[in-house]
Structure 1
Amino acid sequence: MDKMRMESVDMTAQNIKKIGDLFPNCITETVDENGKPKNAINFELLKQMLSNDVLEGDEAYEFTWVGKKAAIVEANKPIRKTLRPYPEESVEWDKTRNLYIEGDNLDVLKLLQESYLNSIKMIYIDPPYNTGSDFVYPDSFMMELSEYNDGIGYFDEDGNVNFERENNDTNARFHSDWCTMIYSRLLLARNLLRDDGVIFISIDDGELYGLKQMCDDVFGAANYVGTVTRISKTTSFRGNYFAPSKDYILTYAKSISSLPQFQDEVNNDSQFNKIETNGPRKGEHYRDDIAFYLSTLQTRPNQRYYIECPDGELVVPPGETMPPNGVDGDKAVPVDGDGVWRWERDQYLQKKHLLSFKKTKSSPLLNQNGEKASWNIYTKSYLLDKKEKGNIPRDIFEGYLNRNGTEELKKIGIPFSFPKPSKLIKYLMKISGVTDGDIVLDFFSGSASCAQAAMELNNENGISCQFIMVQLPENTYVVKDGKKVGKKGFEDSFRGGFETICEIGKERIRRVGNNIKDDNPLLSAECDLGFRVFKLDDSNMTDVYYSPAEYSQDLLSMLESNVKSDRNDLDLLFGCLLEWGLPLSLPYSSEQIDGCTIHNYNDGDLIACFEENVPDSVIKEMAKRQPLRAVFRDSSFANSPSKINVGEIFKLMAPDTRIKVI
């Protein structure tokens, strides 16, 4: 029984918890005056999280590396970029809620922070494994070798080497670069997860240890769900000592207390091949499960007792000491036995009707005389119960080989080497409970295996979860002697006509969607098989930051519009959505009113007009619809009085509308 506290709330502990909810990587552990562990704040790291500059101070073991502070600064630094829509490369642009985004995922994650804050149910990523060379994401804040040497104190004040490193300096620097690359992205990704959200990260042996510590830092060690071992290949001739045939899936929750327990469905119905012939469950399929475990009785003292068999024989699991004699079991005594029943005695008395007795000459049980029993006992497990409750999945995944991913792309005519099989990602979606209306994100999407998994899950289960794919438009070729040739590992893809990985991903989604339609024309009618394409680009707005001395008459003519000349209404509309924190996947429409194009996003969430000199009749029609938000260009108004007049019209007709100009 707990005692009453009889004191006021520990506000310091509460404040630490609040800071931990916002910045779990800033929580460390210390001891109180009694030597007991307690949470504390790493103030140096907290200051860095709240600063746009790299702060002075040593980066010592906690887990750290040269560049960690720079990664934090970069994750928090604002950017002047946008996502431009490309309807012509999209499928079912007007009604789809799926997104395919081309661009560096660091910048894309920054742009999604407001629109998808606390919105993502599941993130799956398969980042590039660190091979120490050919680094795909050369972020601008990563260090040159000279900076790295300074950061680790490689040279003393006189320029002499401080210690011998043999031939591992390059590897160490690549390790730091890889950690810096992934750390900044994980910091941003955590913000997007829902409280019941989960992230799965595929990784190999090379960075598993470091990635685990980084994720403890970002998500909090308490939110570690587990590490899955995936058998990736059945034969391998590589490796120096062991042939590599596995990788790992590191799993973390945003808040593990909010994450439902993973549930695996019962896939092998053939195990339940018996049919109940008696009792209230007559006609149901069941299987026999062994009734006893091999376990020390010291930890399960109430699970060793006699059970009476149909012919009166009393049986007990094997053990060094026999329990007291008695039908249906007197209380067992704690002995050093090595066998116990599945249930405690009270459970057995309630569930004894579920026992199945079988005569056998090789029973593992003992009778009341200490001799081998002539019966074995099983418990009945019913198929309907298993399907309803599910099973907790094992942490070793088999049947999801690399070659399976290659084969499924080959079937749709796309050459690409060893992508993750979509069935693996679909399985992760199933066990984590992805359902109707949920969003899944992959910001290292590669060939878009995750998109295929989401579409197939929707089609199979009649749901509509959404996907967001983000991929750097990495070339599949290099230029040699003025000619394009396939890059190592992408030769077949380039020969197949795909010059970037993004082209592979988009075409895969199109072909998978078409196949689903062809295979299930009726069932797929309501399934979202489309996607909206966006591409990362510089801001829609021109740079107007010039000193007075730099102004000229020619320059002033260039500044008549603050919008870049190559941007259209759709560019401006979706740029506004990002700034206002609206999802990019909602429906919208446009119409002509008195010669002006009016854009209506999600039935009044935002109404915009980007025309020049918008007449009052259009302003009044927009205000009449009482949108939540209204957007105009600065040049939509002839002068300041016109702009004031717009405010007055909305104040009268739609007082709750928020108005902005670009």
Structure 2
Amino acid sequence: MMQDNIPVFTEVKEREIKAKDENSYNFLLEGDNLHSLKLLEKTHAGKIDVIYIDPPYNTGNKDFIYDDSFVDKTDGYSHSKWLSFMSERLEIAKLLLSEEGVIFISIDDHEQAQLKLLCDSVFGADNFIAESIDASNSSKNNSNYIAVNHEYLLCYAKNISGVKKGWLVKKNQIDEFERRAKTLLNMNLSPEKIHNELLQLVKYPCFYDFDHYTYVDQHGVYGTFEPGGVKNGNFDTEILHPITGKPCVKPSGGWRYSEATLQELVKKDGINFGKDETVIPRIKRYLHDYPMQVPKSTLFFDSQATTKWLKRENIAFDFPKSIDYIKHILSYTQDNSATVFDFFVGFRVIIMTQANSQANIRVLELLPKFKIKKMNRWCAV
């Protein structure tokens, strides 16, 4: 029917989503998302930079509707119907992506394997970027065997050769880690005690990015790194131990740095000395100088803070994604002028608005038909 009939949408002015930047805009389409996608196919083909979707997961609990009927666990064709349901929408999503565009899809293990094969078919296996795992610390079932507390995130490009390289993200929880390290420093603990405390702290999943940064001084949190590692390095420079006053042992291949660099490091307290001159000094590398990293495929974003925030706002929503998780994903490409699109709107209509409040990122959101009653009360944020 939609091949010959274009859906018509009417503006509801009182639900306008105000953008903080007058040169930017956000809009939400409320209706069947396939109808909306068909409309956007005419107006936004090749214009979307980032798509993030969190589709219904086909868990057998009437999570999605197909051919105007809910599909439940008694339906012997549930996987087939789910794939048909997704295939129609992903084909249009590919048309909407720009040549530099990427799509992120959250999914659990009910359809992860099927979705991976479907995306290989729609976007091409060569355009597969990565599959990430997010451990949310929230088990969604009461299994008799293993409590599942993770979901997957599939990432594909429309054209991998057009995607800019050098994706970077801010290290997760960097501000909180530095705050805790500074607290230990202010407690006047010994350097060894602080080091041991930080070694314990980095065992927690939310601080796993800092396993090399387990020291702190008045200049900040730092890690220690090998000063040698070369075959024909600098054997001439002598570094005196600050306590014994004797020359420190050199790396087997000599220093990798020139005398001028080493002397400057000593002057600026950039060298970590051992207990005496028999221990090879190591170079300090401060965390605040290296706040960014390549995105990792294992993620830890606890959604509890977001859940509590929703309750305070009196908004009912089951299993919300962490706001920080969405911000993290949107920051991969480091493009603050990107057009971001989600055609399975749920909690993300709020998240996207918050995540992009300080950036000129346009947000497109579609509201699936089967969620209209649930979302109506707050879809105009």
Tell me which interval the TM-score lies in, with the shorter structure as reference length: 0.7 to 0.9
**Paired residue for 1:440, among 326, 332, 340?**
340
CA contact (8 A) 1:473 1:502 kept: no
Give per-residue Cα distances to partners, 1:391-424, cap 9 Å, x unaligned. 11222221332x3332222121212222222322
How many angstroms does 1:110 deviate by?
1.1
Q: In the aligned structure 2, how far is the partner of 1:313 from the partner of 1:474?
A: 70
Q: Is 1:264 matched with 2:169?
A: yes
CA contact (8 A) 2:57 2:63 kept: no
CA contact (8 A) 2:273 2:281 kept: yes
How many angstroms does 1:285 deviate by?
5.5
Q: In the aligned structure 2, how far is the partner of 1:351 from the partner of 1:206?
A: 60
Secondary structure at 2:10's aligned position in 1? strand
Q: In the aligned structure 2, how far is the partner of 1:379 from the partner of 1:182?
A: 52
| Structure-1 residue corresponding to 2:319 | 418
For 1:233-272, list aligned pairs within 5 A: 233-234=137-138, 238-260=142-164, 261-266=166-171, 268=174, 270=178
CA contact (8 A) 1:454 1:466 kept: no
**Paired residue for 2:33, among 105, 109, 120?**
105
The 1:211–1:307 alpha-carbon spacing in structure 2 relative to 1, beyond 3 Å, is farther
Aligned CA RMSD, in angstroms, stands at 3.6
**Paired residue for 1:356, among 268, 271, 285?**
271
Q: In the aligned structure 1, how far is the partner of 2:97 from the partner of 2:260?
A: 42
The TM-score with structure 2 as length reference comes to 0.72
Give per-residue Cα distances to partners, 1:599-651, cap 9 Å, x unaligned. xxxxxxxxxxxxxxxxxxxxxxxxxxxxxxxxxxxxxxxxxxxxxxxxxxxxx
Q: Which has the larger radius of gyration?
A: 1
Letter in 2 for 1:210: Q
| Structure-1 residue corresponding to 2:376 | 503
CA contact (8 A) 2:227 2:283 kept: no
**Paired residue for 1:469, among 350, 365, 378?**
365
CA contact (8 A) 2:339 2:361 kept: yes
CA contact (8 A) 1:446 1:505 kept: no
Q: Is 1:288 matched with 2:192?
A: no
The TM-score with structure 1 as length reference comes to 0.43
The 1:218–1:289 alpha-carbon spacing in structure 2 relative to 1, beyond 3 Å, is farther
The 1:424–1:327 alpha-carbon spacing in structure 2 relative to 1, beyond 3 Å, is closer
CA contact (8 A) 1:230 1:400 kept: no
The 1:383–1:442 alpha-carbon spacing in structure 2 relative to 1, beyond 3 Å, is same
Q: Is 1:130 matched with 2:35?
A: no
Q: Is 1:456 matched with 2:354?
A: yes
| Structure-2 residue corresponding to 1:313 | 249
Secondary structure at 2:66's aligned position in 1? coil
CA contact (8 A) 1:357 1:376 kept: no
| Structure-1 residue corresponding to 2:205 | none
For 1:91-240, list aligned pairs within 5 A: 91=17, 97-132=25-60, 134-139=62-67, 173-234=77-138, 238-240=142-144
| Structure-1 residue corresponding to 2:300 | 398
Secondary structure at 1:315's aligned position in 2? coil
Q: In the aligned structure 1, how far is the partner of 2:125 from the partner of 2:17?
A: 41
Letter in 1 for 2:364: I
Secondary structure at 2:330's aligned position in 1? helix
Give per-residue Cα distances to partners, 1:68-119, cap 9 Å, x unaligned. xxxxxx9x945442222222433559x7721111112112111101211111
| Structure-2 residue corresponding to 1:87 | 13
Letter in 1 for 2:296: R
Give per-residue Cα distances to partners, 1:28-53, cap 9 Å, x unaligned. xxxxxxxxxxxxxxxxxxxxxxxxxx
Q: In the aligned structure 2, how far is the partner of 1:286 from the partner of 1:184?
A: 50
How many angstroms does 1:358 deviate by?
1.5
Secondary structure at 2:100's aligned position in 1? strand
| Structure-2 residue corresponding to 1:529 | none
Secondary structure at 1:218's aligned position in 2? helix
The 1:359–1:380 alpha-carbon spacing in structure 2 relative to 1, beyond 3 Å, is closer
How many angstroms does 1:327 deviate by?
4.6
Pick which of 235-244 and 102-111 moved more. 235-244
Counting aligned pairs with the same residue, the percent is 27
Letter in 2 for 1:120: I
Q: Structure 1: which 5+ runs fail to align?
A: 1-73, 145-167, 275-282, 294-301, 317-325, 329-344, 362-372, 476-498, 510-662
The structure whose RCO (Cα within 8 Å, separation 6+) is larger is 2
Q: In the aligned structure 2, how far is the partner of 1:351 from the partner of 1:243?
A: 56
The 1:105–1:177 alpha-carbon spacing in structure 2 relative to 1, beyond 3 Å, is same
Secondary structure at 1:129's aligned position in 2? coil
For 1:526-541, list aligned pairs within 5 A: none
Q: Structure 2: which 5+ runs fail to align?
A: 186-217, 240-246
CA contact (8 A) 1:79 1:107 kept: no
| Structure-2 residue corresponding to 1:538 | none
Q: In the aligned structure 2, how far is the partner of 1:237 from the partner of 1:386?
A: 39
CA contact (8 A) 1:307 1:315 kept: no
CA contact (8 A) 1:440 1:465 kept: yes
How many angstroms does 1:259 deviate by?
2.1
Letter in 1 for 2:354: E
Q: In the aligned structure 2, how far is the partner of 1:84 from the partner of 1:119?
A: 22
CA contact (8 A) 2:339 2:362 kept: yes
